Structure 1
């Protein structure tokens, strides 16, 4: 309910006002309500709350960058005070205009990371950049999905594979909920980097898909959750694979995504599939 209200507000006012005035104001309301419930005598009254929100508005006008950064810290407190779940927290944080600088990746994958990807075989593994472009992959990933080298460079993207590569809809046993979750995660990233050209390019490609266009318009966001995915592979049969996502500390923006077998049958099937 909270995120639905914020989405509606976001349609009519600037995100700067939301991050620097509305959400910190909600924080104060939540803290004050909690203080009153516990019988604290120092809880702010309505007049003090109004004065403080007015102060936030003046700061947003005079020093918007500083106010937005401070608001970003406050938003996590809002999430905790309102007991938001991880997906709702991700949605609230997506309102912050200056939460992070534009994401950049080196544009190449180091020898160490390439060696790690290869060593994970026959388990599928891939390296993603901040836009979820696929930079490096092993033979297990090729066997599970497709030979990415045969795709155009702009199509080597996780979102493109899920929405624009037709076999994905039968390969993923629970395609719709997984596709929607991925799209919601992407939308949260786009909201934090509105000037990023690659995000805009991916969004345009996604909106050519009717399902993606319909779901994208709902303005929902989500966060990544490690989980088990069920694949129905045309050769290997049913596969239960655990997604594990790790950040490459020495390569900013790069993540390693590995698909690990969740049972012995999947482990053996991958070994046979990759050969």
Structure 2
């Protein structure tokens, strides 16, 4: 089974992948002649970030260094990272290690569970810090999978998305949805260095899914956000749902996701529940 990469190696891979996607013209440098390097050269990134080429090379090589926040900001600017990638860069280096005490099962406030149930026929569910599904109403179970009927270990959105064949049938845009979910997981994973739950789930995904292995190497990070999803149901066909993601004030790692369908799809979901 693959092992989770170290944070230093992850940082080096991220820097290299972002360096290789840039061209000199993107950062105002002349292309020159006889350029064999894909993207920018290491010394060009070092010049843009005002650090020594040797130090930058060590970072890309995955050496055990701890660059300051100022250096990371300079690298983010040099490599044209967006806000999400910049945050991910800082989290990789300065994320707060989790206390290595005994693992404690996540719990959900009863009031939140009641709220999720009351949202029927609008689908809703709550995921924990590792995307375990902590609560789901009847509509969500009818459209995705019957979460309450699954073994506790399998009530995980990432595990379902990448290892359950039904996910590819249910998610009409499975590649885009799965890739984005992995990008959101990566953002959270970087904030929890040393957390065995994140490491174990990552190893399982990389071992069980060729898509997860390929996409993980791209270093994509995706912020939490609202939008639309298209689901496929045997009775309703393909339906489009608008969704909103809310973080719980008392437990910010827990996310309440609510969905709403319009027109015939809304009536169809209500009919399913009846």
Q: Secondary structure at the match of 1:143?
A: helix
- The residue aligned with 1:227 is 227
Structure 1 regions of 5+ residues with no counterpart? Answer: 1-9, 19-45, 55-63
Supply the distance in 1 between the matched residues of 2:76 and 2:184 (Cα, whole angstroms).
Answer: 18
- The residue aligned with 2:141 is 142
- The residue aligned with 1:251 is 251
Once the two structures are superposed, the pairs formed by residues 63-142 of structure 1 within 5 Å of their partners are 71=69, 84-96=81-93, 98-100=94-96, 102=98, 107-142=106-141
- The residue aligned with 1:162 is 161
Supply the distance in 2 between the matched residues of 1:159 and 1:50 (Cα, whole angstroms).
Answer: 39
Deviation at 1:111, TM superposition (A): 1.8
Q: Secondary structure at the match of 2:253?
A: coil
Deviation at 1:14, TM superposition (A): 7.2
Deviation at 1:214, TM superposition (A): 2.1
Q: TM-score, normalised by structure 1?
A: 0.68
Supply the distance in 1 between the matched residues of 2:120 and 2:146 (Cα, whole angstroms).
Answer: 15
CA contact (8 A) 1:105 1:251 kept: no
Deviation at 1:193, TM superposition (A): 1.8
Count of matched residue positions in the alignment of Structure 1 and Structure 2: 221
Q: TM-score, normalised by structure 2?
A: 0.68
> Taking structure 1 as reference, are residues 136 and 76 closer, same or farther at Cα in structure 2, changes over 3 Å only?
farther
> Taking structure 1 as reference, are residues 11 and 200 closer, same or farther at Cα in structure 2, changes over 3 Å only?
closer
CA contact (8 A) 1:105 1:254 kept: no
Supply the distance in 1 between the matched residues of 2:257 and 2:11 (Cα, whole angstroms).
Answer: 37
Deviation at 1:102, TM superposition (A): 3.1
1:188 has 2:182 as partner = no
| Larger helix percent | 1
Q: Secondary structure at the match of 1:229?
A: strand
Q: Secondary structure at the match of 1:107?
A: coil
Q: Which moved more, 1:102-111 or 1:197-206?
A: 102-111
- The residue aligned with 1:242 is 242
Supply the distance in 2 between the matched residues of 1:75 and 1:233 (Cα, whole angstroms).
Answer: 46
Deviation at 1:142, TM superposition (A): 0.9
